[in-house]
C-alpha cells in the first residue's frame, strides 16, 4: 500500500469537521504541567492543541502537510489563539531534546521515532499517545498494517516513563467502533 497524499486528503475535506479534542485529552489534560510548552506531532488540523491552547498552554503543531497546517492556523485564528505551526517530516524531527512539558501523538505511527519521543520531554513532562491497533483492520476498511500497532506493543516503547494510563481494545469513537491503544506516561524528575 502506498503512503497517502495528505495534502490531497486535506484539500478534499478529510477531517474538516473534526474540531473536538480526542477523549484522552479531554479526560487527562489536567495531568500536564500548568501552562506548559506542548508539541503535537502529526497534528493535522490541530484539534487537540486548540483545546489545550484555550486552557493556557503554549502549543506547537508539527505536520508534513501544508494543507493541514493551513487549516490548523485558520482554526486558531478564528478562535483568537496562537499556534506555532511547523511543517516538517516527523522522521527527522527538528526538535531539541528536553524542551517540552507535553508531547502528543494521535493517529500517527512511525516505529523508528518511538525512542525519540520521550527524549523530547522535560523531567515531569507528559506523553499522550493514541493510535490504531492491527485489529482495526478486522472492523473497518483495510489500512497498511505497517502503521498499526500490535496488541500491547505501545507501552513497550516507553519503559523510561512512569505509566499513568494505558488501555487497549475496541471503543466507540465519534460513533464508530475503533480498535485503539491509548497511553499516557510521565518522564521521571
Ligand atoms: C490520521 S492524521 C492524524 C491527525 C491528528 N493527529 C488527529 O488525530 O486528528 C495523520 C497526520 O499525520 C501527518 N503525517 C503523515 N506523515 C507524516 C510525517 N512523516 N511527518 C509529519 N506528519 C506526517 C498527516 O499529514 C496527517 O495530518
The whole-angstrom separation of Cα 127 and Cα 177 is 24
Q: Is the pLDDT of residue 3 over 80?
A: no
The whole-angstrom separation of Cα 128 and Cα 22 is 11
Residues 94-123 pLDDT 10s: 899 999 999 999 999 999 999 999 999 999
Q: What size, in residues, is the chain?
A: 189
Ligand 1 centre to CA of 17 (Å) is: 16
Residues 124-182 pLDDT 10s: 999 999 999 999 999 998 899 999 999 999 999 999 999 999 999 999 998 899 999 99
Whose C-alpha lies nearest to ligand 1, atom 27? 44
Q: Is the pLDDT of residue 84 over 70?
A: yes
Q: Under 8 Å CB-to-CB from 174, ≥6 apart: which residues?
A: 18
Distances (CA, A) of 14 to 11, 45, 88, 173: 7, 10, 20, 17
Does the Cβ of 107 fall within 6 Å of ligand 1?
Answer: yes
Note if the pTM is more than 0.75.
yes
Does the Cβ of 47 fall within 6 Å of ligand 1?
Answer: yes
Amino acid at each position: 500500500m502506498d503512503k497517502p497524499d495528505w495534502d490531497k486528503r486535506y484539500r478534499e475535506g478529510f477531517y474538516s469537521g473534526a474540531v473536538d479534542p480526542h477523549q484522552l485529552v479531554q479526560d487527562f489534560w489536567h495531568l500536564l504541567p500548568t501552562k506548559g510548552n506542548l508539541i503535537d506531532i502529526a497534528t493535522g488540523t490541530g484539534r487537540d492543541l486548540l483545546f489545550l491552547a484555550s486552557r493556557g498552554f503554549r502549543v506547537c503543531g508539527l505536520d508534513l502537510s501544508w494543507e493541514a497546517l493551513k487549516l490548523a492556523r485558520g482554526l486558531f485564528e478564528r478562535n483568537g489563539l496562537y499556534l506555532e505551526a511547523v511543517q516538517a517530516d516527523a522522521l527527522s524531527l527538528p526538535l531539541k531534546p528536553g524542551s517540552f512539558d507535553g508531547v502528543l501523538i494521535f493517529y500517527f505511527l512511525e516505529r523508528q521515532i518511538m525512542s525519540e519521543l520521550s527524549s523530547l520531554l522535560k523531567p515531569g513532562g507528559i506523553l499522550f499517545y493514541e493510535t490504531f491497533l492491527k485489529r482495526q483492520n478486522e472492523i473497518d476498511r483495510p489500512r497498511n498494517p505497517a502503521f498499526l500497532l500490535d496488541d500491547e506493543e505501545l507501552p513497550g516503547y516507553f519503559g523510561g516513563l512512569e505509566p499513568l494510563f494505558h488501555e487497549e481494545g475496541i471503543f466507540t469513537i465519534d460513533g464508530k467502533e475503533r480498535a485503539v491503544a491509548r497511553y499516557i506516561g510521565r518522564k521521571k524528575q
